[in-house]
Amino acid sequence: MAKVVSIKEAAEMFKDNMTVMVSGFWGIGAPEKLLDALVETGVQGLTGISISTALVDRGIGKLVASRQLKKAIVSYIGRNTATMEQYEAGDIEVEFVPQGTLAERVRAGGFGLGGILTPTGVGTELEKGKQRLTIDGKDYLLELALKADVALIKAHKADRSGNLVYRKAARNTNPLMAAAARITIVQADEIVETGMIDPDMVMTPGIFVDYIVQG
């Protein structure tokens, strides 16, 4: 069963050199309160996995602005000027992954798969260093699963067993990332007693959630 903790208690779980998955697309669906707490810890050498590096003051972009990320595994950095500046200066490593491929690599990590086969990237720069396989006459790249030490998740509602409901587009990568980390910490707008969420409305089962903080 998930444990409801304070932001201070959640922050104590962050350590140098962790790999951190952060949900959200340009900050939509990102757990801003948890990210602020992570910035305040000052931990360094993080590897961040997210759809994009969001904006300087939103989402995982806050970790770029605070220079806590040594590497970002993302699909896009174009709206975050801090990421572009640090990337061009060699201060941050960026691994670019097509958005659909990124999502499926995270899904693979969460569900015990070693990776996925995708035709995306065959014959392009993305193929460098990757294994190409031909199946039924079609070429695919082997893309390895992505996992993290910690996933920071934003939910609209959580019960005390960790069952989660997301709101509209804020759902994005949250369910995938919640399953793909050793520790999953959820920032919930509302925390209710177990049994108060209709089982048909549960989008992430509590088995994937370790800790909940009030958003």
State pLDDT tens for residues 8-22: 999 999 999 999 999
| Residue 141 in tokens | 């790249």
190 forms bridges with which residues in the sheet? 157
**148 within 8 A of 180, measured Cβ to Cβ:** yes
Amino acid at 175: P
What are the chain's domains?
Answer: 3-115+147-214 (3.40.1080.10)
Predicted pLDDT of residue 173: 94
Q: Which residues contact 110 (CB under 8 A, 6 or more apart)?
A: 147, 176, 177, 178, 179, 180, 208
d(CA 134, CA 142): 11
Percent of the chain clearing pLDDT 70 (strictly above) = 100
% of the chain at pLDDT higher than 90: 95
pLDDT beyond 80 at 1: no
User: What tokens were used for 68?
Assistant: 């806590």
Read off the pLDDT band of 26 (50, 70, 90): confident
Whether residue 4 has pLDDT greater than 80: yes
pLDDT for residue 127: 95
Q: How do residues 155-208 score in pLDDT, each as one tens digit?
A: 999 999 999 999 999 999 999 999 999 999 999 999 999 999 999 999 999 999
- Residue 18 CB contacts under 8 Å (≥ 6 apart), including other chains: 43, 46, 47, 148, 149, 150
pTM over 0.85: yes
| Nearest-5° Cα angle at 57, 176 to 34 | 50
Contact partners, residue 48, CB within 8 Å, separation at least 6: 19, 20, 21, 22, 60, 63, 69, 71, 72, 73, 74
At 88-133, the pLDDT tens digits run 999 999 999 999 999 999 999 999 999 999 999 999 999 999 999 9
Q: Where are the beta strands (DSSP E) in the chain?
A: 3-4, 19-22, 46-49, 69-74, 93-96, 115-118, 132-135, 138-144, 148-159, 164-165, 181-192, 211-214
Q: State the pLDDT at residue 27.
A: 81
Q: Which ranges of the chain would DSSP assign to H, the alpha helix? A: 7-11, 32-41, 61-65, 81-89, 99-110, 174-178
